[in-house]
Amino acid sequence: MTPLAKHFRRGMGRPAPATENAIHFEVPGARLFWEMVSPDLGAGWYLDRFVYLFGPGLERLHRCLKAWSFLVPPDHPDRLVLGYNIHGAILVLEDAKTSLPKVLVLEPYRIAWWTHEHLGFENLLARWLPDRELPEFLDTEVYTQWRKSTGEYLAEDMILAPKLPKEAGGSRDLENFQVENLFDFYERTGREYAKLAKGGKPPGPKGRKR
């Protein structure tokens, strides 16, 4: 096992349930690197089913990115979805067919599409994920409260979605999150939050103006 994979496992654990790896690269360097580390990293649900990484079905989340076209640039063939968390934040690899791919995060609670100059694919695996350095993407506090109160896991495609984004005064506590279908959430909020980008009023619960 590579040092990178050992560190990743220390921080993220093993996937449970695990899936097959569904991420593939065309560029030789990226392909060789991924083939070397991916068997030890695994794929599927990590952190008590809080985050889903590298498994099948992630291509469906391009629908979510498209729904937030007010913030996310148009799709292109060099974009890969790497995973998402239980609050609907999506991890994306841009320029995946180049030798220098970059990682971006779509964070619905903050209405942010962001990256960092050092947030590349290898650094994502070696540092940002295992060291929990992705702001809010690996913040499990609300989910842990929900798990303790319900004793359940969410059904497929269901998330704990923020009722109000941070910009509209929404707090990061259980009262501000509700169970909602991932795709319905993005398509509903894509229409509502576009008003924020145009200088409109922040949306209230379920999109009603306060």
Taking alpha carbons only, the member of 110, 70, 103, 73 closest to residue 88 is 110
Contact present, 159 and 88 (Cβ < 8 Å): yes
Instruction: Write down the domain spans for the chain.
Output: 141-207
Q: pLDDT of 32-57, one tens digit each?
A: 999 999 999 999 999 999 999 999 99
Length of the chain: 210
| Residue 140 confidence (pLDDT) | 97
Query: What was the pLDDT predicted at 97?
Result: 81
Burial 174-184 (b: 16+ CB within 10 A, else e): bebbeebebbe
Q: What is the pLDDT of residues 51-79, one digit of tens each?
A: 999 999 999 999 999 999 999 998 777 89
Taking 70 as the threshold, does the pLDDT of residue 198 lie above it?
A: no
The rounded distance, in Å, linking the Cα atoms of 160 and 168 is 18
Residue range 78-122, pLDDT digits in tens: 899 999 999 999 999 998 887 778 999 999 999 999 999 999 999
For 13, 33, 52, 58, 151, the CA distances from 41, given in Å and listed in that order, are 9, 12, 12, 17, 27
